[in-house]
Amino acid sequence: NAGVTQTPKFRVLKTGQSMTLLCAQDMNHEYMYWYRQDPGMGLRLIHYSVGEGTTAKGEVPDGYNVSRLKKQNFLLGLESAAPSQTSVYFCASNPSGGRNIQYFGAGTRLSVL
């Protein structure tokens, strides 16, 4: 039972490079989320999706794009990485409806030099 899987686990980028973070869940969850965690700031929501083909902006969406082409996958893209995007990124998912608990992946540690 894999749950929520994030790839890669670590990445170092140079300023201006692009990359895509992949989140995959095998729990058939409708909702998926991307967060970033920075020291002293907790987890902040970047983008989220309430179903296949849908995306919405969270608290800190600038500089990121997302896609949810398949229900089980949620991709986070950085088109032109900046040092301010150095962070740990977490993906989460939960079923639709009610107050369901979000299940998190292990995170991707990204450094932008």
Binding site for other proteins (CB under 8 A): 4, 31, 33, 35, 40-45, 48-50, 56, 58-59, 90, 92, 94, 96, 98-107
Q: Apex CA 23: angle with CA 94 and CA 63, to 5°?
A: 105
Residue 43 and residue 35 in contact, taking contact as beta carbons nearer than 8 Å: yes
Residue 2: CB minimum distance to other proteins, A: 13
Shortest reach from residue 31's CB to other proteins, in Å = 5
Bridge partners for 90 per DSSP: 35
Distance of closest approach, residue 16 Cβ to other proteins, in angstroms: 28
E strand or H helix that includes residue 99: none
DSSP-derived letter for residue 61 is: -
Residue 22 or residue 43: which is nearer to other proteins going by CB?
43
Q: Quick one: 77 or 104, whose CB is closer to other proteins? A: 104
Cα 17 to Cα 11: distance, rounded to the nearest angstrom: 12
As measured in angstroms, the least distance from the Cβ of 65 to other proteins is 18
